[in-house]
Structure 1
C-alpha cells in the first residue's frame, strides 16, 4: 500500500493510481495544488503493486548517453514554434507517419496542462513547446499499454519521473515503444498557474493594463516560450479576446520577457516547485528514456553548425532504439562532460529548498502572484547587493584576515573561505 509519510517521497506520476487492480487509489490535490495518492483502505487488498511502480521507491540506474548532439529541425517555422530546436516534432512526425501514436502534454479547454495522445500530424501542434506546469497524467499509461499490445508504434514524452513511472507500470520492454523525456528544472504548482490565469483575465495582464481587455476577456492562446524576443530571451505570451457591443471581438497580446514575468520569475527563483523536485528520483538519466531533450544552453555555434538564436536542442541519445529516429536531423556531436557543465539539470536536482518556499505559498493564497513576485524580486535584489558588498570586503582584506585566523587554529583556510559565501549564490 502506498503511504506518503513525506511529500518529498511522491513525484505525482500517478502510476500507482493506474496500476491498482481494485481502483482504490485516487490522486487528490493538496493545499498547494499538487496531486498525491489517497487510498481507500476498505477496498485495498494489500497486493503491493502500487509500491512496485513508484519511481521514488524503485529508482533506475545512473547512465551516460550513447551520443550527445546539438540539433535542430530543418524546418525553420517548426523551430520558431518550438521551445528549442524542434527535435520533438521531427521525431513525432516519423511515429505518426508509421501509423503510430504520440503521447505528450497539452493545454485543455481551461488552459490547465494534461497528458493526451494524437494519431495525426495536426495534433502534434498542441504538444509542441514547453508547459511549465505539472501535467495530469490521467489514464495515459494504460492507454499507451493498450496501443502497444495492439502492435502500434508509440512515442511517450514527459518529465523524467513520468517516464520512469510509465516504465515501471508497463513492467516489460516493448520494441514498439519510444520514450522521450526532458531536462527538467522542476514542476510548478497547477494551482498557482490557475491563480495567475485568473489575474491575467481580471486585469488584462496584471501590472500591464490593456484598455481593450478586462474582466470579460478570454484567453485564446498561451506560449511559454515565444521567440519574438529571440530564443535565449524568450517571452511568456498571452493572447486575449474580448467581445464588444459591435459584435467584432477585440484582441490583445500580452508579452513579457521571462525574467520580468511574475509566474516565470517565481519559477526561476525556485519557490513554487513540487517538494520531490528538490530530490528528484530520476536525474542522471535514471528514467530509462530512449531520448532526452532540452535547450542547449551554452552552445556558441560553429562554422558548420551556427547558432542563429532561433533555438538549438540538446539531444541525448540514451539507447539504440533512440538512435533510429534522428538520422535525418541537423546535428553536431558534442562532449557530454562539457555539456553537463552548462546544463546542470541533467544530473542535479534543484538547489536546497529555499526557506521562503512555504511562506511564499501562504502569501500568494492571501494576496496575488503579481504582488508576491515583486516582493521576491526586491528581496533577491537586496541579497545580490549584500553579496557584492561581501565580495568587496573579502577582496579588501577580510578574506586574508579569516585565513589568518584559520591558520592559527589549524583549520583549512580554503574550506573556511568557501563557507563565508552565501549558500544561495
Structure 2
C-alpha cells in the first residue's frame, strides 16, 4: 500500500486513489492545506496498484522536445481571455469539432479550483486562464479513461505531475489522447488560497469602489492574469463582485501582480507544495504531447513577434503533438530558444525551499493571519540588512580612497 513518509514524495495527483479497486484511499488535507492519500488499512488488500501508478515513485525518463514555436491567437477575445498567446482554446476547438472531450481546471461555486470536462466550446471558456492553486483532480482520470475506451478524442490539460499521474493511471497509450501540460512554477494549496480569499471577503482590500457591507460581498469573478488593464507583461490580479446591498457589479480588487499579496507569496516560492521544490515531472518526464508556456523574453529574443496582448511558447514533444500543433489556426514563428531558462523560471526542476516557507507556515500555526504570516516570511532577516549596510559602507570607503588617490596624482602632476 502507498505510505507517504516524506511529503516531498507526493504530488497530490490522486492517481492512487482513483486506481484503488477497493476504494480504500482518501485524500486528506494536512495542516498546510495540501491533500495526501490516507489508506484504510482494514479494507486494503495490498494489491500494490496504488504504488504502481504513482508518478513520483515511478518517474518517467526525461525527453527533449522535438521543436519549439512561438504562437499567437488571431481572435482578439480569445487572446485577451487567455494567460498568454491563446493556444489552449484553439487546441480545444479542434478536439470538440471532432466530437471530443476537453479536461481542464475551473473555479467551482465556492472558488475552489477543480478539474472537470467539457464537450462544448462554451464549457471550455471557464478553463481558460491560469489558476495558481492546485486543482482537485477528483475522478477525472476515471472519466478520461472511459471516454478513451469509448473511442472519443480526449484533450487532457494539467500540471506536469497531473499529466504524469494520468499516464501512470492509464497504464497504456491511447492514440485518441492528446495530453498538454505547461511550464509549472509550482502550486500553492487550496488551504492557503481560501485563507487569502477570506481576507478579501472580510476587507475587500484594494477596492476601486466602496463596498457597503464587506461581510456580505459576493465574488463573481477572479482572474490571476488579467491582461485587459496593463497588458500581458504587467498582468493584474483582479477580483470582481457585487454587494448584497446594491447588487451592483464592481471591481473589488485590481493589483498589478508584483503588488498582490497572494502573487508575491507564490512568485517567491513561499507556500508551494513540498514536491514542487524538487519536481520529478518536468523536462518531458510527464509524457505530455505538448507543453505550453508564456514566451517571456520574446521582446529580446524575437522582437518582431512580440505582442503585449500575449505570446505563447509551444514545446512539441511527440509526433501526436506535432500533428495537433500543425492544425492550429494561429500566427507562428520558430522560437529563439537561446536563454529561455533565464526568462522562464518554470523550466527549473529545483527551487529553493528555505526559511521563508518555514516562517510562513510556522506563523500560520501560531494563529497569525495570511497577510501577517506572509509579511513575516517576506521580511528581510536582520543579517541581510546588516550585510547590505556593510557593503554600502565598504563601497563608500573604496570610493573615497579612489578619489583621494586621484587628487594626489593630479597634485603631483601639477608640481
**Normalised TM-score (structure 2):** 0.89
Q: How does 1:225-244 map to 2 (within 5 A)?
A: 225-227=225-227, 228-244=229-245
Give the C-alpha shift of residue 368 in structure 1: 1.9
Instruction: Name the counterpart of 1:410.
Output: none
Instruction: Name the counterpart of 1:420.
Output: none
- Please provide the CA RMSD for this pair: 2.4
Instruction: Name the counterpart of 1:295.
Output: 294
Q: 1:390 to 1:82 in 2, by over 3 A?
A: same
Instruction: Name the counterpart of 1:324.
Output: 323
Give the C-alpha shift of residue 291 in structure 1: 0.3
Unaligned runs of 5+ in 2: 399-415
Instruction: Name the counterpart of 2:50.
Output: 50
Deviates more, 1:371-380 or 1:40-49: 371-380
- Secondary structure of the 2:27 match is strand
Output the CA distance in 2 between the equivalents of 1:213 and 1:235: 25
Q: How does 1:49-68 map to 2 (within 5 A)?
A: 49-68=49-68
Instruction: Name the counterpart of 2:410.
Output: none
Q: 1:214 to 1:288 in 2, by over 3 A?
A: same
| Larger Rg, first or second structure (1 or 2) | 2
The answer as to whether partners of 2:15 and 2:166 remain within 8 angstroms in 1 is yes
Q: 1:379 to 1:213 in 2, by over 3 A?
A: farther
Output the CA distance in 1 between the equivalents of 2:249 and 2:31: 36
Q: How does 1:7-406 map to 2 (within 5 A)?
A: 7-205=7-205, 210-227=210-227, 228-244=229-245, 248-249=247-248, 251-300=250-299, 305-327=304-326, 328-351=329-352, 353-364=353-364, 366-379=367-380, 383=384, 386-387=387-388, 390=391, 393=394
The answer as to whether partners of 2:360 and 2:376 remain within 8 angstroms in 1 is no
Give the C-alpha shift of residue 356 in structure 1: 2.6
**Normalised TM-score (structure 1):** 0.87
Output the CA distance in 1 between the equivalents of 2:86 and 2:393: 44
- Secondary structure of the 1:326 match is helix
Q: 1:34 to 1:132 in 2, by over 3 A?
A: same
Output the CA distance in 1 between the equivalents of 2:204 and 2:396: 48
Q: 1:342 to 1:250 in 2, by over 3 A?
A: closer
Output the CA distance in 2 between the equivalents of 1:268 and 1:344: 10
Give the C-alpha shift of residue 357 in structure 1: 1.1
Output the CA distance in 2 between the equivalents of 1:385 and 1:305: 45
Unaligned runs of 5+ in 1: 398-425
- Secondary structure of the 1:168 match is helix
